[in-house]
Amino acid sequence: MLFVCDANAGRSQMAAALALARGSGTVHARSAGINPAGELELAIVRVMDEIGVDMSAEFPKPLTDELVAAADVVITLGCGGACPVVPHTRYLDWAVLDPTGRPLTEVRRIRDELDLLVTDLLTTLTSEGTR
C-alpha cells in the first residue's frame, strides 16, 4: 500500500508507519509526497514515539509512477488529483487534517484518527483476502 500527501512530512508518513506496525509483518507500506519537504515534522516523530513507533530514520520521499504502479492500494491524504492514476489500482482518499504547525494535542488526535483508519483498512483487506 502507498500513502501519499503533499509534503510527505506528516500524514502519509504516520499512516505508513502505522500500517507497518499494525500489519505485524504481513503488509508492505510506503509513503511519498507530491512536493516532498526537507525533513519530517518533529511533532510527528514525537507523537509516534509516544505509541512505540520509531520514525527517527524516516525522511520525505518523492512520489513516482513506479511507486504507484507497485501498490495494490493508494491512499491519498490531501493531495487532490495530483497523484498518477494507474488502471487496476484501488484508490482511497482520506480527509485528514494536515498536522503541520498544529499543537501536539491536535497532532495526537490526527495520529489517533489515522490509526483508526489504518486499522479499518487492514481489517477490510484481510476480509477481502488482499492483504
Lowest-confidence segment of 51-65, 81-95, 100-114 by average pLDDT: 81-95
Q: What is the pLDDT of residue 101?
A: 92
86 has pLDDT over 80: no
Percentages (nearest 5) of helix, strand, coil residues in the chain = 40, 15, 45
Give the Cα-Cα-Cα angle 115, 67, 70 (nearest 5 degrees).
90
Rg (CA), the chain: 14
Q: In what order do the strands lie in the sheet with 2-5?
A: 30-33, 2-5, 73-76, 90-93
- What would the pLDDT profile of 48-82 be if each residue is shown by its tens digit? 999 999 998 999 999 998 998 899 999 999 776 66
Q: What is the pLDDT of residue 84?
A: 66
Burial of 26 (0-12, 13-18, 19+ CB in 10 A): exposed
Q: What is the pLDDT of residue 104?
A: 96
- What would the pLDDT profile of 5-48 be if each residue is shown by its tens digit? 999 999 999 999 999 999 988 899 999 999 999 999 999 999 99
Q: What is the pLDDT of residue 7?
A: 93
CB 9 within 8 A of CB 39: yes
Q: What is the pLDDT of residue 129?
A: 66
Percentage, residues of the chain above pLDDT 70 = 94
Q: What is the pLDDT of residue 126?
A: 80
Q: What is the pLDDT of residue 81?
A: 66
Q: What is the pLDDT of residue 94?
A: 93
